[in-house]
Amino acid sequence: MEFLIVSTLNGVIYGMLLFMVSAGLTLIFGMMGVLNFAHASFYMLGAYFAYTLSGLFNFWVGLIVAPLLVAIIGMFIERYMLRRVHAHGHAHELLLTFGLVFIFEELIKLFYGDFPVNYQRPDYLNFAIFNLFGTDYPFYRVFIGLVALLMFIVLFVLLTRTRVGMVVRAAERLPDTARALGHNVPMVFLGVFGAGAALAGLSGAVAGAFFPTNPNMALELGVIVFVVVVVGGLGSLAGSLIASLLIGVFSSFAVGLDWSLASLFGLIGLGDWANGLGGLVTMPLSSISATVPFLLMLIVLLVRPAGLMGSKN
């Protein structure tokens, strides 16, 4: 029971974090058809900027200014790089952002060194919010979840209930018509790209203070985020929310379970035979927990190739 509740809680919060990063990615994709490989780099940049700013000023300044800086970088990339290669097709845009991933990673290594930096949350945020079965549950985890939730609500209201959201959705569905009606569509694209980058930067600034902040964080999270958007269906916010939570909960359960294929065979009386096989069959789920998202993705692809909430190709 303890395991069940703690794992679910951790999983949901990790899922919310994944959603925070994938929301911007899927928003940008839905609108511009650009899959931004460098999106997870924005997450990393957010964490590092916040680390520097929290050293210079304080934690909250970092939390607010870092996303803005990331947004500026994002808009620069959209305006002066992506727009330039747009004529050569989506594959080139994808490749360009792919190249940027390496530039960002190497620049971070150049400036901060190829090792984790000590980005910490302030002490007054370091307390236990409640006590679960004798262990304290850190408030900061809940804080990450709350920020993500707040972000989802703001995004949802902004997109569906305001004039700005209407223009954005119009520019997404029918860019030419939106332009004909007098809206500055390239400006909208620029804004959305900046906003998406800011979201990633914000999640980096929030999560970097809890998880390690190192030059590999972009790649580590990036791959999982791509799995999220494939499972959820690219371009669908709701899909990526569901997929994030699914993957978050699955990963968090997998870490704590020592089930293996052999124990599955044990249920039907083939346990000894399976244990004798060794290799993959006896490997406990906990040690291969990193593979769980990818397995989930393969299953989704087999059953529902368009993703949970995605439209057909």
Binding residues for other proteins (CB under 8 A)? 29, 35, 81, 84-85, 88-92, 94-96, 98-100, 102-103, 105-107, 109-111, 113-114, 219, 223, 226-227, 229-230, 234, 278-280, 283, 287-288, 290-291, 293-295, 297-298, 301-302, 305, 313
In angstroms, what is the minimal distance from the CB of 163 to other proteins?
31
In angstroms, what is the minimal distance from the CB of 238 to other proteins?
18
Counts of helices then strands in the chain (DSSP H, E): 14, 2
Q: State which residue, 162 or 311, has the beta carbon closest to other proteins.
A: 311
In angstroms, what is the minimal distance from the CB of 158 to other proteins?
25
Q: State which residue, 182 or 279, has the beta carbon closest to other proteins.
A: 279
Q: State which residue, 15 or 145, has the beta carbon closest to other proteins.
A: 15
| Size of the chain in residues | 313
In angstroms, what is the minimal distance from the CB of 283 to other proteins?
6
In angstroms, what is the minimal distance from the CB of 95 to other proteins?
6
Coil vs helix vs strand at 213: strand
Contact 195, 20 (CB under 8 A): no
Q: What is the DSSP string of 88-156?
A: G-HHHHHHHHHHHHHHHHHHHHHHH-SS-B-----GGG-SEEEEETTEEEEHHHHHHHHHHHHHHHHHH
Q: State which residue, 46 or 235, has the beta carbon closest to other proteins.
A: 235
Q: State which residue, 63 or 214, has the beta carbon closest to other proteins.
A: 214
Q: Tell me the longest C-alpha to C-alpha distance in the chain.
A: 72
| Rounded distance between C-alpha atoms, residue 119 and residue 7, angstroms | 25
